[in-house]
Structure 1
Amino acid sequence: MNLPILLAILCLTAIASCNDRFSVRKRLIVGGDKIDIGKVPYQVIVQLGDMVVCGGSMIAPSWILLASHCLWDIRGYEHLLEIRAGSKNRLHGGEVRTVKWSTLHPKYDRVHLHHDIALLFLNHPMVFGDNVKCIRIPPQDYMPRAMDDGFVAGWGLTNADHDRTKASNYPKELLGVKLPVLGFKTCNRWYNNYTLYQDTQFCAGYPEGKRDACVGDSGGPYVVGRQQVGIVSWGLSCAKPRQPGVFTDVGMYRNWIETTMQ
């Protein structure tokens, strides 16, 4: 392993071992099932060496949508990232690309994880096929409705107690879980000591917990029907009662996405 990659991985593992105010949802699907990539052909994994950094979605052949917090602590090392698409195995198969440049939302707030959205521009476009396709994003100002059924997938830890700094603890096969959108008032009441932004965030999960996209696959897509309405952002714990996942509302950022891609 060359020195730049080693330094970047050391940076990632140091960050992962710290106790943050939020559980930034990197690398965990709880209560999910194994799925084939053909069910979610837009899904990608972002890795640094064999370390899972985040999930993401393909919104155009050369563009990956994900969360700003995925990239904040590895700024300057983005060119070392590998993006794999078209495979349910995070280590083999499909198509692999590197990153030419990245952009975080200019108003990203790393304290409150507000405007937690970013884009990666690939060095070479993906070649579309049955297992490699882009996902649609909703029109500007679209907001998902309470009780909409959404779907999240990822290669994250299946147990929050596992050491997240060890690459061997991450499953090789893709997992997915269904999560319903929760009403904002309910979510805000459960998170009364934390700041939620009704205009740019929403919550999804079950009151009883048990199933979640937690500590995990941050940056991954939350899909309702045939469009990506959310990005996995943060939460307090993993699949616990009354602690649902918080998602960036993609519809509030369509104008920014389109402007950035021009």
Structure 2
Amino acid sequence: MRKHKLVLAAAVVLAAVAVPVANAASAEQPAVAATPTDQLRVEGGSAQVVNGQRTTVRENPFVIAGMRAGGGGPQGQSCTASVVGKRKIITAAHCMIDATGAKHYLYGDDDLNTTGDETFRTKLLSFKAHPKYSGTGGWQTGYDVAVVTTEDDLPVPESQWAKVAGSGDSALTQPGKNGTAVGYGRTSANGGSGVLYKTALPVNDANNCQVFNTRVNPDLMVCIGYNDGRTGTCTGDSGGPFTVDGVIVGVVSWGSSGCDRYSIMARLTNEMGDWARSEIGGTPPSDGKFTVALTPSSGRVDPGKYISATVATTAGDQPERLDLSANGQPSGVAVKFQPESVNSGQSAKVTFDVAASAAKGSYPITVTAKGTSGTKTAVYTLTVGDGGSTDGPKPTATPSSATVSRGGSVKATITVAGGTGASKLSATGLSFAPMFFPFSVNPGGSSQMSLFAPFQPGTYKVVITATDTAGKTGQTEFTLTVT
């Protein structure tokens, strides 16, 4: 009879149906629940857990990877989490308390096995676990949820923050509902990890999920998936989101060690979700009941000239006042709205005033309309001149050098001149790649570079590369002295 070993904090590995196999042994012997961790070790592997569907951060813009020193996944990936505010992330409490090691977060990478693809990294500033989480091993009794505050602003617009369920959303976790789990976890008990996957899973009656030596408490937990493990969660996705109708109703908490039975979520459709909302601050953003569009949605203008478009809105269930704003415009381009706010259903004029010094290129500019029911955006593609440049980008670093103690952090401003369109930033010279916020910069724009010093004293030459949309590159150097 096959024995079910411990399950580590359910890091969601997303799996799809291969050939469902009846698990008679599972029905006879309860699976043993184990302390959540990203260091899952099993003898042999479950033939029932296979990959789910590959997905992307673009499709799930609120998903972020939790990293820690000594983490078992690629680059130290340990958990999965969701962006819910300007500097707020929701995850599992055991990801913060049971998993040791210095923690930070990485955003924007679909595959952590290849380095340098991320958009952004930031350190953990602080976290709050639910006050009823009992400490190490507390996931067994529930309240496995935490809200993290990051050191830097997260590069996710408010309209794309994840929505968190509360006590008023209990209908979303009724048995029979279907949802989606997303995470960077393993694709089987002994499989690879660090690649973003998703899978569809049903919500079950907890009475049918009592197949573990730990009780599934329906007041504090949500049981999802299948008892034959045809698709489910696995180590590495702990803290990741389980969404129903676009709302996070649970975070991945625990499951079976073989990743071959039900997956257990920390329930948010109760006071746990209400607590998380209060820690996040304010209410989660809604989708907005109105619409916004730009006519035309693109245009070309020479330096020293201007061009205009119409911002058209339609009303939703009821009229509301919409405040208009723009972001993404390059240096030398001013955006003006006439008027700056309208009632839903009305239109406004937007003018892009281009200075003579503005660099040639094509720039996506996001126009945002914010009302009481939520936020909506539309993109205008502004082409300055012929949209090209004969020269590649020219990055500069300010300051160009710094001295720091071992393990310390340093920040510098990277400014990019010239180039065609936005330039992506990357750097070499350190084992732990610097972070850039934002990851790409329009001509004349700047980015903040954050890097962590090695623990080995010495002088390090960091080479920063800007690559524009035409494939041309430019470089600058930053000298780091570690004492």
Please classify the TM superposition score into its range, dividing by the shorter chain length: 0.7 to 0.9
Aligned CA-pair RMSD? 2.4
Structure that is richer in helix per residue: 1
Query: Does the CA-based 8 Å contact 2:104-2:122 persist in structure 1?
Result: yes
Percent of matched pairs sharing the same residue: 21
Q: Structure 2 residue aligned with 1:254, among 273, 279, 285?
A: 273
Question: Residue 233 in 1 paired to residue 253 in 2?
Answer: yes
Q: Which amino acid aligns with 1:97?
A: T
Could you say what secondary structure the match of 1:255 adopts?
A: helix
Question: Residue 215 in 1 paired to residue 240 in 2?
Answer: no
What is residue 142 of structure 2 aligned with on the other side?
Answer: 114
Q: Which amino acid aligns with 2:264?
A: V
Q: Structure 2 residue aligned with 1:136, among 163, 168, 186?
A: 163
- Cα distance change of structure 1 residues 141 and 55 upon mapping to structure 2, 3 Å threshold: same
Distance 2:108 2:181 in 1: 16
Unaligned ranges ≥5, structure 2: 16-50, 70-74, 282-483
What is residue 224 of structure 1 aligned with on the other side?
Answer: 244
What is residue 429 of structure 2 aligned with on the other side?
Answer: none
Alignment of structure 1 residues 1-262 onto 2, 5 Å: 21-26=6-11, 28-30=13-15, 31-48=51-68, 50-74=75-99, 77=101, 80-90=102-112, 91=115, 92-109=117-134, 110-111=137-138, 112-129=140-157, 133-143=160-170, 144-162=173-191, 169-171=192-194, 173-188=195-210, 190-191=211-212, 193-240=213-260, 243-252=261-270, 253-262=272-281
What is residue 72 of structure 2 aligned with on the other side?
Answer: none
Deviation of 1:87 (Å): 2.9
Deviation string 1:8-41 (CA, Å, 9 cap, x unpaired) is xxxxxxxxxxx98543213633331111212211
Deviation string 1:34-72 (CA, Å, 9 cap, x unpaired) is 112122111110112511110001111211100011111
Distance 2:77 2:181 in 1: 16
- Cα distance change of structure 1 residues 101 and 205 upon mapping to structure 2, 3 Å threshold: same
Q: Which amino acid aligns with 1:137?
A: V
- Residue-pair matches, total: 229
Deviation of 1:86 (Å): 2.9
Deviation of 1:134 (Å): 0.9
Distance 2:243 2:166 in 1: 14
Distance 1:249 1:99 in 2: 24
Distance 1:29 1:145 in 2: 22
Give 1 or 2 for the bigger CA radius of gyration. Answer: 2
Deviation string 1:202-253 (CA, Å, 9 cap, x unpaired) is 100024322111224000000111110010000123442xx20010111221
Q: Which amino acid aligns with 2:184?
A: W
Distance 2:180 2:258 in 1: 17
Could you say what secondary structure the match of 2:277 adopts?
A: helix
Query: Does the CA-based 8 Å contact 1:27-1:53 persist in structure 2?
Result: no
Could you say what secondary structure the match of 1:37 adopts?
A: coil
Could you say what secondary structure the match of 1:153 adopts?
A: strand
Could you say what secondary structure the match of 1:142 adopts?
A: helix
Query: Does the CA-based 8 Å contact 1:215-1:238 persist in structure 2?
Result: no
**TM-score, normalisation: structure 1:** 0.78
What is residue 165 of structure 1 aligned with on the other side?
Answer: none
Quick one: higher RCO (CA 8 Å, sep 6+), 1 or 2?
Answer: 1
Distance 1:85 1:220 in 2: 14
Could you say what secondary structure the match of 1:219 adopts?
A: coil
Could you say what secondary structure the match of 1:182 adopts?
A: coil
Could you say what secondary structure the match of 2:215 adopts?
A: coil
Query: Does the CA-based 8 Å contact 1:45-1:85 persist in structure 2?
Result: yes
Query: Does the CA-based 8 Å contact 1:215-1:235 persist in structure 2?
Result: no
Distance 1:74 1:239 in 2: 19
Q: Which amino acid aligns with 2:269?
A: G
What is residue 4 of structure 1 aligned with on the other side?
Answer: none
Query: Does the CA-based 8 Å contact 1:56-1:221 persist in structure 2?
Result: yes
- Point out the more displaced range, 137-146 or 229-238: 137-146
Deviation of 1:113 (Å): 4.5
Point out 4+ residue stretches in structure 1 off by more than 4 angstroms.
Answer: 19-22
Distance 1:215 1:93 in 2: 22
Unaligned ranges ≥5, structure 1: 1-18, 163-168
- Cα distance change of structure 1 residues 73 and 20 upon mapping to structure 2, 3 Å threshold: farther
Deviation of 1:83 (Å): 1.1
Query: Does the CA-based 8 Å contact 2:53-2:199 persist in structure 1?
Result: yes
Deviation of 1:88 (Å): 1.5
Deviation of 1:187 (Å): 1.3
Structure that is richer in strand per residue: 2
**TM-score, normalisation: structure 2:** 0.44
